[in-house]
Amino acid sequence: MSKKVMVAMSGGVDSSVAALILKEQGYDVVGVTMCFSLSRRQAEGPAGRRPACCGLEGIEDARRVARDIGIPHYVLNFARDMEETVVLDFVSEYLLGRTPNPCVRCNQYLKFGKLLQKSRALGMTKLATGHYARLEKEGRGYVLKKGVDPKKDQSYFLCLVRRKDLARVLFPLGRMTKEEVRRIALKRGLSVADKPGSQEICFVPGNDYRAFLRKRLNRACFRPGAITDMSGKVLGSHHGIFNYTVGQREGLGISASHPFYVVRLDEKENKVIVGPREALFSRGLTAVGPNWFCARCTQNFEKNKHVEAKIRYNQPQVPAKITRLTRTRLEVVFPEAQRAVTPGQFIVFYNNDLVLGGARIEQGKSDAS
């Protein structure tokens, strides 16, 4: 009997080709689309625009592809889970002066949390997605590696998936480039072959997170506060620190002879602290809640203390030195200062293409040594 695989199908070309590949490899494939149908009030943005996850387009595209390749397709309502584990965290993190990464959290709690549990409950052997990442057998388990396409590698967003769950996951596209995926879709006549990829946060209409937050927050969250320079001099005022993020230059509403950037958000004092560009650079950071993917991942830095790291998805890996402060807290030092270390984002550790693990950034440290 062929192995049963649940494929998370968003209606895009990547997950569609992932389902097609597995079907052609002889798997018993079932397509599932996760519906995050927020209420109309929550979902609509300017001019009534709704995010892709809340309309029928993604569901219908996935259903059409499933029909064309000959697999069953189902829609599962994850609206409540999305609200409780991703959206509320997204809102609260901004209120605390941090910049969240909802894609990392969605992978942790929804795709490779709730959906993986659902797949097991339905008797599926594996859960597959269209992520550009690789899994390789090592000992009794698996290790996570970067996708071979450097422009599309998505291992960063998988940094909090539990190590023990890797054995129940498939990434059919990990050894392919985006161009190869599109060629397969065109050759097989899939209706989504030319469908553009989305760079938006799925539940934020128009990718305007500030507008989304303003709809979700009550007026008490808009309390005015000071915008100060690093010496404490007041330069202007703000109407909620959730409107700002570290590294921001535009939209500060202050005039000066040289550019200012947001260097820190003080939630307790309700202040936005700005400074010159050079003040954005940090020699290190602290991070919390580390998640490791293999025994030799921790051995890697316990022995020689040096790894490579990314403090955001779209930046190159840079050398880093890790010190374990406690079981749940790390200090990371960089040989060269890094720009705009942002609390709430994630630092992901690598050894070449091997993903060692990741942790949430707590704060940057300009005086790390």
pLDDT in tens, 184-225: 999 999 999 999 887 778 888 888 899 999 888 887 788 899
The domain boundary, picked from 164, 186, 207, lies at 207
Structure-block tokens of residue 352: 């070449």
Confidence band, pLDDT 50/70/90 cuts, at residue 276: very high
User: Is the pLDDT confidence value at 61 over 60?
Assistant: yes
Q: Please check if 237 is assigned to a binding site.
A: no
Phi, psi dihedral angles at 166 (to 5 degrees) = -60, -30
Query: Does 270 share its domain with 284?
Result: no
> Is residue 221 annotated as part of the catalytic site, yes or no?
no
Q: Please check if 194 is assigned to a binding site.
A: no
The domain boundary, picked from 207, 228, 244, lies at 207
Cα–Cα dist 151/153, whole Å: 6
Comparing CA positions, the residue from 224, 269, 270, 272 lying closest to residue 245 is 272
Residue 215 domain flag:
no
Q: pLDDT at position 45, please?
A: 47
Q: Averaged over 23-32, what is the pLDDT?
A: 97
Query: Does 174 share its domain with 43?
Result: yes
Q: pLDDT at position 207, please?
A: 83
> Is residue 202 annotated as part of the catalytic site, yes or no?
yes
Type of residue at 220: A
Q: What is the CATH number of the domain that holds 237?
A: 2.30.30.280
The least confident of 48-52, 101-105, 221-225, 283-287 is 48-52
How confident is the model over 29-58, as pLDDT tens digits? 999 999 886 544 444 444 445 444 445 788
The total domain count for the chain is 3
Question: Active site residue: 106, 159, 294, 297, which one?
Answer: 106
Q: Which of the two residues, 51 and 21, has the higher pLDDT score?
A: 21
Residue 75 domain flag:
yes
Cα–Cα dist 227/2, whole Å: 62
Query: Does 254 share its domain with 338?
Result: no
Residue 29 domain flag:
yes
Q: Please check if 230 is assigned to a binding site.
A: no
Query: Does 37 share its domain with 114?
Result: yes
Residue 170 domain flag:
yes
Q: pLDDT at position 37, please?
A: 66
The domain boundary, picked from 169, 184, 207, lies at 207
Instruction: Determine contact, residues 182/13, Cβ cutoff 8 Å.
Output: yes
The least confident of 318-322, 324-328, 363-367 is 363-367
Cα–Cα dist 327/308, whole Å: 20
Q: Averaged over 106-112, what is the pLDDT?
A: 96
Q: Averaged over 235-239, what is the pLDDT?
A: 94
Query: Does 30 share its domain with 13?
Result: yes
Query: Does 116 share its domain with 225?
Result: no
Q: pLDDT at position 217, please?
A: 87
Residue 166 domain flag:
yes
Query: Does 237 share its domain with 323?
Result: no
Q: Please check if 123 is assigned to a binding site.
A: no
Residue 214 domain flag:
no
Residue 212 domain flag:
no
Paired sense of beta strands 271-275 and 225-228, if any = parallel
Cα–Cα dist 253/184, whole Å: 49
Cα–Cα dist 166/142, whole Å: 6
Query: Does 224 share its domain with 172?
Result: no
Confidence band, pLDDT 50/70/90 cuts, at residue 1: very low
The pLDDT mean for the chain works out to 90
Range of the domain at 254: 220-275
Q: Please check if 364 is assigned to a binding site.
A: no
Question: Active site residue: 54, 103, 159, 202, which one?
Answer: 202
Residue 213 domain flag:
no
Cα–Cα dist 94/101, whole Å: 11
Query: Does 76 share its domain with 187?
Result: yes
How confident is the model over 4-13, as pLDDT tens digits? 999 999 999 9
Q: Averaged over 355-359, what is the pLDDT?
A: 95
Query: Does 147 share its domain with 236?
Result: no
Q: Please check if 275 is assigned to a binding site.
A: no
Q: Please check if 165 is assigned to a binding site.
A: no
